Structure 1
Amino acid sequence: MTTTDLHALTGVYAVHALHGDERAAFERHLAECDTCRQEVAEFTATTGRLALAATVTTRPAMREQVLERITTVRQVPPGAAPLERVRRGTRRGRGLARWALAVSVAAAASFGGAAVWQYERAQSARHEAAQAQRHAEDLAGVLAAPDATSRSVKMAGGAGTLVVSADRDQAVFVASGMTAPPRGKVYQLWFADGGKMRSAGLLDPDRGSQAVLMQGAVDGASGVGITVEPAGGSKQPTSAPLALLGMPT
């Protein structure tokens, strides 16, 4: 595979379509190529936005329509006698009718509960999708900002690139070909505020290459650090930093 071939694989890599030796070769190249790292970060953000574009929003009136129809749908339990035979039956038949009515009411109540649950799940999904879309737009906005500046460092078998937009007061960390952290550990990002470290989010331990919108505003931070922390992250660093990057200018 030629160097030209590797430069052409940024989009394919961003959608996780490279495998085996081809993926390994591209990640080795990625650790050395600033241009490809930038392209992978931009393709990753764009892919996230395209995926969100397929979200379908449920009509607001659906819940009311489902609950209204519950009261008009006749429920008959499996194996129950036809209504005409029940009417012609004896007291036992009338008992079965009452039993059928009870089952019908229970079924309607159960269906109504399920409808409410599904509606609430849909509301939650819409909220999460909206948050994810805002996150993807902010990430893409930093990478494409006219004033964006970057600084890179080799670390954890790969490389990390810090991209900062002063106008947006936000930063993105782009990991390229980093080895996975030890089991039960994660890479955590930190803003350096004077002598203090402020948590700025976690990297996905299952992805060696990713673009992460750092949590919180840059707010005058002097640099960024990366440490290895227990799963879930820490309130303050518990290990020596793998890398420290000053804010790019």
Structure 2
Amino acid sequence: MAFLFIANDVETTPALRMDASSAINSVLNLLSDDRQESHQIEALVAREIWAYASAQAPPCQRSVVKTFGLANRPSVRICRRVAYHLLLETPPSTQPDEYLALPPLQPIIALVSRTHAGPFGITPKTDYYDLEARADVLNKMLIGMSEYVALESSKSSLLSSTEAMENKALTPLQRLTGALQSLSYNIADTRAAHLDRSSAKSWIQMVQLRVHYQREGLLSALSGGRRKGPRKITDMLSAAPSSSKGASAVVSREASAGPSGSGGVNGA
């Protein structure tokens, strides 16, 4: 924890911060990836880091999750778990089996979909610097995209061709993309008059595009490059109005109902 404190101290120089991050990575590299004892230690470390970060403001939480070099599996898992539970504001489990499991996306989708309340809510009192920080924390939480895509692919491969045609439901990653798109649409930054709003919106759109195109690329790789779909950002955006309707319908049912009428925000 001492290295973590050093890396996130506002008076720490960039060089010292890099050294502290390297030290953290070296320590985590000593943990075995196939031993129960190491997994137990890893889960306890993640819990301690979460306890420290959860008491900080969102920009500081962003700094904490960016401390990890992601050069080994323990570092990836700790970063993902800490980021996930910072967004949900719940402590991570210290049980190895629960800790090692891939965090479900459903709670994150519901959280992002609550556009009038919660950490991603857009209201007249929204702090867009905090919103941007949370978008970056979400970005770090999604470092295991290949695992989510592999899970999605394995589930779809169990369906017959007839079942696949009948199963029109959007996948969790598609629903997350739709929720992020709806969130960015709710941020009014006409003519970029508000730099904090524009910056937050750019971060959210970046995460949205990353999820969409990483999913497409990974699915294409898993299927031997036979997938067809939009290959340019302009293709995706031009298809957004029709494709986002399904996503919006799904995520709206998952989100907590917020107050109607957000003219006070969009008109600001």
Question: Which TM bucket (shorter chain)?
Answer: under 0.3
- Structure whose residues are more often strand by fraction: 1
- Scaled by the length of structure 1, what TM-score is found? 0.26
Structure with more relative contact order (C-alpha pairs < 8 Å, separation 6 or more):
2
- Scaled by the length of structure 2, what TM-score is found? 0.25
- Structure whose residues are more often helix by fraction: 2
